[in-house]
Amino acid sequence: MLDTVRDIETPEGVELGLRAAGLPVRAMAWIIDFLIRFGIDVALVVALTPLGRFGVGLMFIAVFLNEWFYNVLFEVLRDGATPGKRSMGIKVVHDDGTPIGWSASLVRNLLRVADFLPTCYAFGIVTMLLHRDFKRLGDIAGGTLVVYADSLSAPPALPEVRPEPAPLALSGTEQHALVRFAERANTLTPERAEELADILEPLTGTRGETGIRRVLQYANYLIGRR
């Protein structure tokens, strides 16, 4: 895998890149949201407790709603992002890249109880580390994915070099891999780009920067440039 990008094709035939968010950035977003929820809970206690038994009962209801529906309301009404997620540049979407709905958000958030077991979100953390898209149980059950908010975009244009046909017949999967490498070439470090291009030495017959350029030439030919 070059990165955590998942390719999703829309019904219109447009391919979008969904870059899955990993554990560290999601943990930071959770901490920010936890502090916000805690602040709201404290404000509710201070404001409602002086009202006596009625106020205490109202306080318990308000705290319950805040703890269980804080994430749901923000995810559905604020484009998949709670304040914590928005501050970290991530959001929740359906697996197909569409905006998250009520049912999916409810499922993923109600299952936080299971993810918390046996303590400190241990089950959820283990599940995220084992899943290729960093999904916890709630995401798996709800059919949701946490992605970077800037990831719902068309792939970048290929660097333009003189196109050349590949010397060998390539399968559809191999052609797609070459084009995807070319699309991401400008985002890779030179060392990483050379490392990946060197894998294709049997195809390109060369290594290093020359190998990278040869792959880019093949990719430009594959997309129809002449």
pLDDT digits 0-9 by tens, 17-70: 788 999 999 999 999 999 999 999 999 999 999 999 999 999 999 999 999 999
pTM (2 d.p.)? 0.66
Report H helices in 93-184.
Answer: 102-110, 112-116, 122-130, 137-142, 172-184
Question: What domain count does the chain have?
Answer: 2
Angstrom CA distances, 184 to 17, 98, 173, 187, 194, stand at: 11, 24, 17, 5, 13
Tell me which DSSP letter residue 81 carries: -
The answer to whether residue 165 is domain-embedded is: no
**At 101, phi and psi to the nearest 5?**
-110, 180
pLDDT at residue number 68: 93
- Taking only the tens place, the pLDDT of each residue in 123-176 is 999 999 999 889 999 999 999 999 998 754 555 577 888 898 988 888 888 888
Same domain, 30 and 98: yes
pLDDT at residue number 55: 93
Same domain, 135 and 61: yes
Considering only residues 197 and 10, tell me which one the structure prediction assigns the higher pLDDT: 197
The answer to whether residue 11 is domain-embedded is: yes
Q: How many helices (H) and strands (E) does the chain have?
A: 11, 4
Same domain, 187 and 120: no
Same domain, 83 and 115: yes
The residue type at 124? G
Same domain, 190 and 121: no
Which structural domain, as residue segments, surrounds residue 49? Answer: 5-151
The answer to whether residue 164 is domain-embedded is: no
Nearest to 24, CA basis, from 144, 129, 151? 129
Same domain, 41 and 145: yes
* Mean pLDDT, range 174-192, rounded to an integer: 85
Strands 15-19 and 5-9 come out as antiparallel
Same domain, 22 and 100: yes
The answer to whether residue 107 is domain-embedded is: yes
Considering only residues 2 and 125, tell me which one the structure prediction assigns the higher pLDDT: 125
Angle between helices 208-222 and 172-184 (to 10 degrees): 120
Same domain, 129 and 187: no
Q: What mean pLDDT value characterizes the chain?
A: 88
Tell me which DSSP letter residue 168 carries: S
pLDDT at residue number 12: 43
How far apart CA 210 and CA 127 sit, in angstroms, is: 41
The answer to whether residue 162 is domain-embedded is: no
Nearest to 45, CA basis, from 67, 24, 13? 67
pLDDT at residue number 109: 95
